[in-house]
Structure 1
Amino acid sequence: MKKLIAILTIAAILGSSATFARDATVNNKKVMEAFKKEFVGASDVSWYTTADKYVAKFTIKSSKVTAHFDREGNLLATSRYITDSDLPLNVITRLMKKFPDQKIHNVVEYESEGATTYVITLESDTHWTVLKAASSGGLSTLKKLRKA
């Protein structure tokens, strides 16, 4: 679980930061082979590197996807924006029960180590609520922000 949280944190940092080097091509054959094998049909690929990871941002089947690879070409995690209708039924049901006065603003699906986690931003008239949901339906609140 700690590893998943660390990967999700890294994914959030990588997704929101422009301080990483951006490469037009990747000079790591293992990473490129793994990417081409895993994401056949990907387009508009942009690569970013950190000291120990490669990050690809691309489009596949009309979805914007981010994939994280280690230097050995192992896929560590993926993330993509999805719609609320793509959430598992048990997650939707739990959201409706616990937060009936809020609507879903956006959903990011994270996959790492065979586990799928969702970060869901809910909106009400007065605040935003950011939740983490497991595919099993478990919910935990990450942040609650007041609207200005």
Structure 2
Amino acid sequence: MRDYDDITDFLGTWGPFQLTVFFALAASILPNGFVGLYIVFVGDTPSHECLIPEEYNISDMWREAAIPVVMQDGVLKRSSCSRYKMETVRNFSALNYTPNVEVNVSEIEVESCVNGWNYSKEVYESTTVAEVSRVVCVLMYCRSTV
């Protein structure tokens, strides 16, 4: 069986070319390491809630009340995946009813986020999740302000 040195003997000795190639390859490793850290910042899912488009023409009181409040991790938060049925909310708003005074909002039927989501820009200006959601909404013809 041949020795490793005998097999690689045709490459020659360690010289300036091998040194240049070695450092060029070593330097290329540094930026590649940052790619692993990059996803930590752009892959997060920002807080979000159902989008209520402006064309629904509902009052500000009803716009606030249109998202159900749910218990999440022991804290009351606005739901990120449902809203009250917009047709019903629009009717109550048009009649100038006051939410949770003249109308028990929790008794209104709940629907999914059919118009997309409104993402918080409090922590991140843009994330992969928000951008993919925006593209999907454009492809599905829904309006979104992400």
Q: TM-score, normalised by structure 1?
A: 0.24
> Which structure exhibits the higher relative contact order, with contacts defined as CA atoms closer than 8 Å and separated by 6 or more residues?
2
Structure richer in helix, relative to its length: 2
Larger Rg: 2
Structure richer in strand, relative to its length: 1
Q: TM-score, normalised by structure 2?
A: 0.24
